[in-house]
Structure 1
Amino acid sequence: MPRKAVILLEGSKMGTGQLYVQAAKGLGLHPIVLSADPARFNYLATENIEAIRVDTDDLDALIRECSQLRETYDIVGITGHPYPGEAVYATAAKLCRHFGLPGPNPTSIDQCCDKFNQRQLLAEAGVPVPVHRMATNAAEVESAAAEIGLPVILKPAVGNGSTGVRLCRDAEELAEHTVYLLGGTYEWQTSPRILVEEFAEGPYFVADIMANEVVAVGAATFGPPPHFVYDEYIYPAPLAVEEHERIVKVALSCLRALDLNWGPTNIEFRWTTRGPVVIEVNPRLSGSPDPQLIQLTCGIDLVTEHIKLVIGNECDLRKRYSQTASARFLVPDRDGTLDRIDGASRAADVPGVAEVTWYIRPPTPIIRKGDSRDCVGHVIAASPNHDQTEVILQLAVDSIRLSITPFATHDE
């Protein structure tokens, strides 16, 4: 009999791709990664994974490659890693539909990829979202901001990882970021379309969902504005019972509004004076380190449970225990060349530390962009309670030092 295999599109430089191939192996499957550039992902060699170079934006090319693989393997499932984002997940959904394999509705995934379209569908269903407008040029941005009132958020209508997203607190910042988005510096995935929306100010939360069940609700903090670079994630979120229930209720209403009823979804919220306001619905599993945090918190491995659905099995979302897990992101405080990382082994040896992971290796040039790409690694800690986890995490992070040599200036 041919070997059972699962096809994974692309990969994640932040570690989730490796989680997927490990989970597939754990289920007795042969993982095959299709990527436009397999050499980008070190874990492929580490895990001795079969990887095939193919344009993952070309659906016909992917169909041909998968058809060829079916001559050798019993392809039992196809899915995409959480990053680079919804586009690859939507492509995976189309492949599943083509080959008659379990998967999400491609139309439902596609309509979530456009943030403006998503906002419109949620608003029509009565889901609380920020006041928003669409703009395609500087005049429309200025007009929308005047109508909504400063401060506003400017973000590309299509994208992920907070790329191109900025809080504009005054007219100068608004004009500056508009020039950045429309002046040729920002690399658009589509024709330039900017979402202008009110700044929904308040604590940030995320609901992690599998099928129609909210598995966990976490909280996060960010570095200094005007950018949105994650500083720390914590599960479970420190919420009162009624607050948790309100988030769950709104999350489930998002699924109905967007026709998302299969597989993973993660929904981002801000808790404002109106209560939970939906910032974004991502029809995919959260990227690393969220799956690790959820597993440490309650014993549910969402990556494995996702693959179970992908191959047509039932998932098991029973919680096995309860503790607090948190991740601190490591973000350089300056541009320059990352020469070395000191103290990583000491951090890993702190009791209660579950993981110390680096996304890059020295020597590497660091040019901060004000988005998720600024993060160079993370530390995860877990314990029975919030306060103890914070103490462990701080002790570990304090032992790490990033040695960064500033770039030479033209005067030198």
Structure 2
Amino acid sequence: MQTIVFVGSNKSGTSREALSTSKTMGYYTVLLTNRKELIKQKEEFPEVDRIVYVDNLFDKEIVLSIINNLVEDRKQICAVISFIDPYVSYAARISEELGLFHVSTDALVIMEEKTRFREHLKTLPVSPKFTIFQGEQLSIQQFAEKNQQHLPLILKYPVSNGSKDVLLVETISELKEGLEYLNKKFPSSPVLIEEYLFGTQYLIEVIAKDGQISMVAVIEQEVSNGDRFIITGYCYPAQLDQVTFEELQSAVESIIQALKLENGTCHLEMRLIDGKWKLIEINPRMSGGAMNRIILEGTGINLVKETLKLYLGQDPILEATKKTHVYAKYLTINSRGRLVKVTGKNKASNYDGVKEVYVKPRKGAILTKPYSLGDRYAYVIATADNPEQAKEIALSASKEIKFYLDPL
């Protein structure tokens, strides 16, 4: 039986959709996970034929042993893939060792670590100014004094994802506090320091096959006020004039070519600064959360499915079958507490133009104000004939959703 092996998955979002899509495509679907709660909740994963607990997913001998057992059980391994950090290049390397479709593993490795891709792309015009704090040559005090004229700055843990451990610092005291916080939390890791670029942020989904680069979707992001860069709104398609769009395409192609991504997927976050595109982030996978549904509603393209086809060695079909304006509104909360109940989901779902309402946490979960994208607790996706109307519908519907908490 033709089989796809997934390394890691979240309970929802792109990685979960990949499991159900694999099953829909007719593949025997195997999930390797290091999350014990998924094993306990395996009845909630009817799309998965086999879930295997692996304490350390990076133990390649164990993973290969599991795959070998599948082969002995007459399963034909067609792909080994991961849609979540930090397993993307690791799964691709295993796939390569098994003689399956060859994706550009070296490019994926570069994208998985922020100092690595910054150094690799530093000669490109899209690269912002940056430096790396190692804590070996200068103390935090000396470094802060040397760099205070460059404030505001962004501090990043190099292997963070989902806006975790990404800090905006605007004063010298915040710079010192931020460095101390990251040094304490990750004592053996450098800290990436970047110039802060003011401007609208855009997310670009990319697939490369045999060196052919396709920008599948360009989506405008709305970032919440604060120092944690939580994305609370996504608007598809981004409203860019033709010249600006072509300049973005050229910038993206220069990045992908510099990384030598011949076969693979990634998503980039970029800002337009004084008429020039600058790279904020790049990740070696498609974006998580509701991204697949946003693109599907806007274009008719199931990007999860086309990504799986790429990893299976097939040609992805990326022709849009429709063009609809989509707005996704994510909800966060401003306090900490234990969830008692959530109301308004059905009301929100009944709004004309609303395509999906999703509430993530269960009763009894501990909720908090947002420190990362994982602290977004619901979303509403709406479509309309124009971007303003799609946004208005999503915002109005989202106001129906109420979280009731017992404070802690």
Indicate the residue corresponding to 2:79 in structure 1.
77
Indicate the residue corresponding to 2:89 in structure 1.
90
Contact 1:38 1:44 in 2 (8 A): no
Q: CA deviation at 1:146?
A: 3.6
Identity of aligned residues (%): 24
SS in 2 for 1:70: helix
Q: Following TM superposition, where does structure 1 have runs of at least 4 consecutive aligned residues deviating by more than 4 angstroms?
A: 41-44
Given the superposition, is the C-alpha separation of residues 262 and 180 from structure 1 closer, same or farther in structure 2, using an over 3 Å criterion? same
Equivalenced residue count is 397
Give the Cα separation in 2 of the matches to 1:356 and 1:41. Answer: 26
Give the Cα separation in 1 of the matches to 2:39 and 2:171. Answer: 41
Give the Cα separation in 1 of the matches to 2:102 and 2:59. Answer: 19
Give the structure-1-normalised TM-score.
0.92
Given the superposition, is the C-alpha separation of residues 103 and 333 from structure 1 closer, same or farther in structure 2, using an over 3 Å criterion? farther
Extract unaligned runs of 5+ from structure 1.
408-412
Extract unaligned runs of 5+ from structure 2.
none
Superposed CA deviations along residues 191-242 of structure 1, whole A, max 9, x for unmatched, are: 3210011001110001111111111100101111211111111111121111
Give the Cα separation in 2 of the matches to 1:329 and 1:41. Answer: 28
Superposed CA deviations along residues 15-45 of structure 1, whole A, max 9, x for unmatched, are: 2232111211221111110111252389853
Q: CA deviation at 1:136?
A: 2.1
Given the superposition, is the C-alpha separation of residues 209 and 43 from structure 1 closer, same or farther in structure 2, using an over 3 Å criterion? farther
Indicate the residue corresponding to 1:384 in structure 2.
385
Q: CA deviation at 1:384?
A: 2.0
- Counterpart residue identity of residue 126, structure 2: P
Contact 1:298 1:319 in 2 (8 A): yes
Give the Cα separation in 1 of the matches to 2:15 and 2:227. Answer: 30
Contact 2:15 2:288 in 1 (8 A): no
Given the superposition, is the C-alpha separation of residues 249 and 35 from structure 1 closer, same or farther in structure 2, using an over 3 Å criterion? same
Contact 1:145 1:152 in 2 (8 A): no
Contact 2:144 2:175 in 1 (8 A): no
Q: Does 1:195 align with 2:167?
A: no
Indicate the residue corresponding to 1:35 in structure 2.
33
Q: CA deviation at 1:274?
A: 4.8
Give the Cα separation in 2 of the matches to 1:300 and 1:145. Answer: 50
Given the superposition, is the C-alpha separation of residues 354 and 42 from structure 1 closer, same or farther in structure 2, using an over 3 Å criterion? farther
Superposed CA deviations along residues 39-88 of structure 1, whole A, max 9, x for unmatched, are: 2389853342221011212122211111111112111111102x2x2x20
Give the structure-2-normalised TM-score.
0.93
Give the Cα separation in 2 of the matches to 1:270 and 1:164. Answer: 20
- Mapping of residues 13-412 of structure 1, within 5 Å: 13-37=11-35, 39-40=37-38, 44-48=42-46, 49=48, 50-54=50-54, 55-72=56-73, 73-81=75-83, 83=84, 85=85, 87-124=86-123, 126-137=124-135, 139=139, 143=143, 146-147=146-147, 149-183=150-184, 186=185, 188=186, 191-211=188-208, 212-368=213-369, 370-407=371-408
Give the Cα separation in 1 of the matches to 2:29 and 2:122. Answer: 40
RMSD: 1.9
Give the Cα separation in 2 of the matches to 1:127 and 1:96. Answer: 34
| 52-61 or 299-308, larger mean C-alpha shift | 52-61
Give the Cα separation in 2 of the matches to 1:53 and 1:20. Answer: 19
Given the superposition, is the C-alpha separation of residues 70 and 141 from structure 1 closer, same or farther in structure 2, using an over 3 Å criterion? farther
Superposed CA deviations along residues 336-389 of structure 1, whole A, max 9, x for unmatched, are: 122111101111121211111122112211233521122112111112210110
